[in-house]
Amino acid sequence: MKTKTNNAKDILLKKGLKPTYQRITIYDFLDKNRIHPTVDKIYSMIHQHIPTISRTTIYNTLDLFLEKRLVMGLTIGGAEKHYDVNVASHHHFYCLKCRQVFDIKINCPFYNDKHPLIDGNLVQETHGYFRGTCKTCAQ
Amino acid sequence: MITNMENIKNLINNKGVKPTFHRIKILEYLMAHKNHPTVDKIYEDIVKSIPTISKTTLYNTLKIFVDKGIITELTITGSETHYDMKHGDHHHFYCTQCKQIFDVHSNCSYDCNMKESVDGNRIDSYQCYYKGICKNCLKINVI
C-alpha cells in the first residue's frame, strides 16, 4: 500500500502535478483497478474512501490526467468516457450486452512508438474500438 | 438530378427503411458532405432548405441509418458524435489543434476484409482513429 502510494506520488510529481491526497487516491484506484471505469464508477468507489470528495474534483482531476497523458479517455461507449491508466497503444472491445470494456491485442502498424507519422500527420494516440458481443455473453 | 434522388430512395428502400422526404434529404446531405459533420452542423444546413424539420426527426433518422448500417457514427472527440457515410473501410485522424477529422489509410487487416471476430468475441462494428497533429498544423508550429 505504502509503495503504491509512493509510486502514484512520484508519477504525479514527474508530470509536474502537485500530489494532493485526492489525486493520489484517484490515480491509485485507476492503477489498481484496470476495469476502464466511467466517471460514475470512479466517483462511487472513491467516495467510499473520501466521503467529502466532489464530482467536480473527480472531473477536474481526470481532465488534468488526460492533459498530462497520465490516462487515456476512451470514447468507445459513445455516451460516456471510460478511463484507462494504460497509455501505451492498444485496442479495446466493448460488449454491447454486458457493457464491459476490455483490452484486445492487435498489431497495428501505426502504433506511435514505431511509426509516429501517418500520411505526414503526427500520431500521438491510437484508438481502436471493436463493438459486439463478447465470448462470455455469446455462450 | 432526378436519378440521384431515385438512387438515394432505392438505397434507403433496400435497407428496409421507408424512404420519406426527410430521410432522403438527410442522406443526400451526408453523401454530399463527407467532412464528418455533427448533428448541429447537419441541422444548421438542412433547416435552410427544410424549415419545418425538427432536431428530433434528424436524431431519429441518423439513429435508423446507423442501425441499418447506411452510415457510421464516430465518437472521436468524446463530446460530440460525427457522422460519416459508409464508403469503404478507412481509419480517421483527429487533429487536436484544428479539430478537423479526415480519412487516412492504414494497412489494417480488420479494415480491409472486416473479420467477424477478434479473440473469440463477435464484432458488430469497428472504428479506429488516430489523435495527433495534422501536417498543416505541424507546419504552422514549426514557423
Q: Is the pLDDT at B74 greater than 70, yes or no?
A: yes
Question: Nearest-CA neighbor of B83 among B96, B73, B98, B97?
Answer: B73
The pTM of this model reads 0.78
pLDDT score at A10: 93
Residue B62 sits at the chain A interface (C-beta within 8 Å): no
pLDDT at residue B90 in the model: 77
Distance between CA A86 and CA A70 in Å, rounded? 8
Cβ of B77 within 8 Å of Cβ of A75? The answer is yes
Q: For the segment A1-34, what is each residue's pLDDT rounded down to a tens digit? A: 445 567 899 999 999 999 999 999 999 999 999 9
Residue B95 at interface with chain A, using a CB cutoff of 8 Å = yes
Which stretches of chain A score pLDDT less than 50?
1-2
B2 or B27, greater pLDDT: B27
The domains of chain A, with CATH numbers, are 2-74 (1.10.10.10), 88-138 (3.30.1490.190)
Cell reading at B92: 480517421
Instruction: Show residues of chain A in contact with B122, CB under 8 Å.
Output: 132-133, 135, 138
Angle at A76 between CA A75 and CA A77, to 5 degrees: 95
Radius of gyration of chain A (CA): 16
| pLDDT average, residue stretch B42-62 | 95
Is the pLDDT reported for residue B75 higher than 90? no
Chain A residues touching chain B at CB-CB below 8 Å: 73, 75-78, 81, 91, 93, 95-96, 104-106, 108-110, 112, 118-135, 138
Residue B23 or A5, more confident: B23
Separation of alpha carbons A75 and B82, rounded Å: 12
Q: What does DSSP say about strands A121-133 and A91-95: parallel, antiparallel, or unpaired?
A: parallel
Close Cβ partners of B73 (under 8 Å, ≥ 6 residues apart): A78, B62, B66, B81, B82, B83, B84
Q: Which DSSP category does B38 fall into?
A: B
B19 φ, ψ (degrees, to nearest 5): -80, 80
Give buried/exposed letters for B4-32 (b at 16+ CB in 10 A, else e). Answer: eeeebbeebeeeebebeebbbbbbbbbee
pLDDT digits over B83-113, tens only? 988 766 678 899 989 988 998 877 776 765 5
Q: What is the mean pLDDT of residues B62-78?
A: 86
Gap between the Cα atoms of B39 and B106, Å rounded: 28
Provide the pLDDT for residue A1.
Answer: 46
Percent of chain B with pLDDT over 90: 45
Residue B142 confidence (pLDDT) above 70: no
Cβ contacts below 8 Å, chain A against chain B, sum to: 111
Classify strands A121-133 and A72-74 as parallel, antiparallel or unpaired.
Answer: unpaired
Higher model confidence: residue B126 or residue B101? B101
Do residues A56 and A39 lie in contact, with contact meaning Cβ atoms separated by under 8 Å?
Answer: no
Cα angle A111, A112, A117 (rounded to 5 degrees) comes to 110
Domains and CATH numbers, chain B: 1-72 (1.10.10.10), 88-143 (3.30.1490)
Residue of chain A nearest B133, judged by CA positions = A122
